[in-house]
Chain A
């Protein structure tokens, strides 16, 4: 289990996450009503220069995970190792040198920039806070960064409101790059943008990743965007990773029923008309009281008794990099593509 999702051990992982959990207590007044297990035991690695996608629907814990990775949230259990150091409970002072290597890009390009600060000041802030003196001066570095993200360096003195949504997201990216980080956690970086702008930003992130050799944890609900950006993908459901593997494993040979349902639920522009997709019934259950055993079983068409009593472990079937937490994993291409398994699944669900 410990090497799950690690195809080979050639490179020491930059980020090593083991048993990571976050439980939020829920109270009504003074009475405790239990805990929300937002993230409940994650294991994964990110190697230098690697892009790992965390995907799943709302409430699956992907954003909470991202925030724990950059230590904006305190983990309840488990460990986070970054560059060989345990940072799980590192204090502010211990984190300071790491902040340079570990940055975050937020979803909302409107809320994540201070409207009273000029763009120059916003991008220079990480340099100041960390006491970094760039070679050619702060201004030169900021202008260089503006150019890197495709903005006019002359716009140094403008305010966030003078920029469009896509341009603001570029400013957020420039800020994340200011300290030359090794790993960027990007939390839904393009989901607030219009389609035409989304493609611009995805291309920019890809270019930066290639040119600067950055590692990414890319958090998104849009599986098509993730496919264009990530080398490895972890699918989350109710605080757990249900499947992890290389891009081709996840998109072409998914084994977990949830991964297959998720992929087949995406409306595909290349197909006209109602799709023969797997229909999942119901909504995601509340993480306050997750189902026993396999958490997906309440919506799964393959669920049997064992699914309610025994939690499936995230294990590789063939010893390779693809690991699935399921008692009855699927095989073969995605439902809906070949027709075979899709038909069967749809029939079973509709019963």
Chain B
């Protein structure tokens, strides 16, 4: 998807110093030090804790993480979908130059669906079962085009259904979601998200509920549509294989924080964070030695109410003892990892990381 192999940095217009990333050719989305907290009876959940990134038009950022890493909370914050009574949101979110944090609900609603749209994991719960698929798409169009007549909206919806590869779109317009197969529903949801030509598309595990052969179709479709519409895409997933296929840049999240960021080449080929290493070496592969042991990450993901001190990955990290007590006591900042545009938050010295990766990780699992 808009991959440019020749650009080594992956993130143009992104200076290594983290919280400030201002540049000439402003990226369409700029998230700065985003913090999302929920007050619960058990305590404050720091679901997202100081995350920054940018996405330009025509590029795809893959956000990778396991459950509870904060990846979905981040995307809902960008779309302003958190309940203001329960969540407190800090930091900055600039979409097309407009700061969204603190913007009145009505103004965010005006942007949502028009400038930015979302594709959810489960199309069955995102589509209303009571209305025809076509009517829902047409309505999404009319909300942002109040002057458009019914006929025009219908035509637009039929066009979109055809664009996302649904056969006989005019007939399909009048069918209900349950009459669509899983893959077709996901296509319909993509049609709905794209009906207003959004500049930013957030896809949250868009293919997780689908079979692999259908997943392949949907990933191809997203790539084709991006080439056509030139939108900025955020793809949230736990599947490193999906990321390797469609992302230009990758952000790895753990316990609500960004632990590594860079081009897909940097993060998957020359990963710098022990958590990224762990993810790569625990994925079973279709190639290589099938009898080799997988190398899992020990322990369990942390509780967001009671994050471990210092680097929140330290209880599961095999190298946490290499810096005296630093990993336990000091939260590592996201710092340049060496190559331009590659950032990592780890207390290990750069040379040691490179050595460890080469000697202990690179030959394991899919990290090879």
Contact = CB atoms under 8 A, between A and B. Distances in A.
A207 to B, nearest CB: 9
A46 to B, nearest CB: 19
Contacts of B294: 199, 202-203, 228
A280 B217 contact: yes
A223 B211 contact: no
A268 interface: yes
B214 A267 contact: no
A57 B211 contact: yes
Interface residues of B, number: 52
Nearest to A166: B300
A224 interface: yes
A265 interface: yes
B342 to A, nearest CB: 15
Contacts of A283: 181-184, 214
Interface string A215-234: 00000011111011000000
B245 A274 contact: yes
Nearest to A200: B296
Contacts of B246: 274
A270 interface: yes
Nearest to B301: A194
Contacts, number: 141
Contacts of A267: 215-216, 219, 239, 241-242, 244-245
Given A167-B300, A223-B286, A284-B211, 14 more contacts: A57-B211, A57-B213, A195-B282, A196-B282, A199-B283, A265-B215, A265-B216, A268-B286, A268-B287, A269-B241, A269-B268, A281-B217, A283-B181, A283-B182
A37 interface: no
Given A262-B212, A279-B217, A283-B181, A272 B290 contact: no
A206 B219 CA distance: 33
Interface in B262-303: 264-265, 268-269, 278-280, 282-287, 290-291, 293-298, 300-301
A131 interface: no
A202 B184 contact: no
A284 B210 CA distance: 11
Q: Which 3 A-B pairs have the closest CB atoms?
A: A267-B241, A199-B296, A199-B282
B122 interface: no
A289 to B, nearest CB: 14
B240 A225 contact: no
29 contacts: A57-B211, A166-B300, A194-B301, A196-B282, A196-B296, A196-B297, A197-B296, A198-B282, A198-B296, A199-B282, A200-B296, A200-B298, A222-B284, A224-B283, A225-B284, A227-B290, A261-B213, A265-B212, A266-B212, A268-B241, A268-B244, A269-B280, A269-B283, A272-B244, A272-B268, A273-B3, A274-B1, A274-B246, A280-B216
A96 B284 CA distance: 37
A166 B282 CA distance: 14
Contacts of A166: 300
User: Which of A197, A199, A202, A266 has most chain B Cβ within 10 Å?
Assistant: A199
B178 interface: no
B67 interface: yes
Interface of B: 1, 3, 66-67, 181-184, 211-217, 219-220, 223, 238-246, 264-265, 268-269, 278-280, 282-287, 290-291, 293-298, 300-301, 366, 368
A295 interface: no
A266 B223 contact: no
Nearest to B291: A228
B213 A228 contact: no
Contacts of A263: 286
A302 to B, nearest CB: 16
Contacts of B242: 267
Given A202-B294, A270-B366, A265 B265 contact: no
A309 interface: no
Contacts of B212: 57, 221, 223, 262, 265-266
Contacts of B269: 272
Nearest to B269: A272
A209 B155 CA distance: 59
A140 interface: no
B285 A269 contact: yes
Contacts of A58: 182, 211
A277 interface: yes
A262 B213 contact: yes
B98 to A, nearest CB: 33
A195 B66 CA distance: 7
Contacts of A266: 212, 241, 286
Interface string A252-270: 0000000001110111111
A284 B183 CA distance: 10
A57 B214 CA distance: 10
A272 B266 CA distance: 11
A195 B217 CA distance: 23
